[in-house]
Amino acid sequence: MKLFAQRALGPVTLVLLGLTIWLGIWVTPPDAVQGNLARLLYVHPAVATVALYISYGTATVASALYLWKRTRSMTLDRIAEAAVEVSLVFIVLTLITGSIWGRPAWGVWWVWDARLTSTAILGVLALGCLALRRANDDPVVRARRSAVFVIISAINVPIDHYSVEWWKTLHQGATVFNPGGGLKVHGSMMWTLLLSFVSFTMAFLWLLRARYRLSERQYQNTERALQAALDQRRAEVNS
């Protein structure tokens, strides 16, 4: 059952993404104000949510658990590494889709808006984390340093989240709910929006699993190469 679920993750993700695209482009109506431009609603918010909260959140939790002695494991380190890499992919997609939406809405591809800037900074921090991991060959030291770096950089996530409230920005506030808790989106648009969150979350899980498996194979290959080198050295000494 577990093996079937793992094998089904990719195809199910592709079906959900395809369904989201179909509903978003051909089924849902254009927005009364933004027209067809509002169809980015079915991509941008979900991608941004995965990038900031789900993906970087996974990396932060895995890093914190690694630093805690009771749960310390190299498996958690590899999960954190995979989550940061996937988060970087979604951060880039967030900035690209945001720029595509912003060009006709604001008249520019990019502006040093608080939300955009803080998201870009998080992307730079994710790059810095991956660079830090490649600066040390000791797996224990590498894991500890990158875990601390991820947790510190995660401070930028709530700053990004509340930036539209703390500063005057061009970026709109909440997409789904009004300040009073009422819904902004209804009908087929609402269901398609919810499906997009599910679809891109599944895509995150798929990419996370694939990246983790790659990291696991790299670790096993390194261990085998090291063991082979040690065996060869012992054979030379004994001979």
Asked if the structure places residue 149 within a domain, the reply is yes
Asked if the structure places residue 44 within a domain, the reply is yes
Rounded mean pLDDT, 212-237: 73
Asked if the structure places residue 210 within a domain, the reply is yes
Q: What is the number of domains present in the chain? A: 1
Local confidence band at 104 (pLDDT 50, 70, 90 cut-offs): confident
CB 23 within 8 A of CB 195: yes
Asked if the structure places residue 226 within a domain, the reply is yes
Supply the pTM of this predicted model. Answer: 0.85
Asked if the structure places residue 161 within a domain, the reply is yes
d(CA 73, CA 87): 21
Which residues span the domain enclosing 137?
38-169+184-233
d(CA 212, CA 224): 18
d(CA 115, CA 104): 18
Asked if the structure places residue 178 within a domain, the reply is no
| pLDDT at 94 (0 to 100) | 94
More confident residue, 105 or 41: 41
Asked if the structure places residue 145 within a domain, the reply is yes
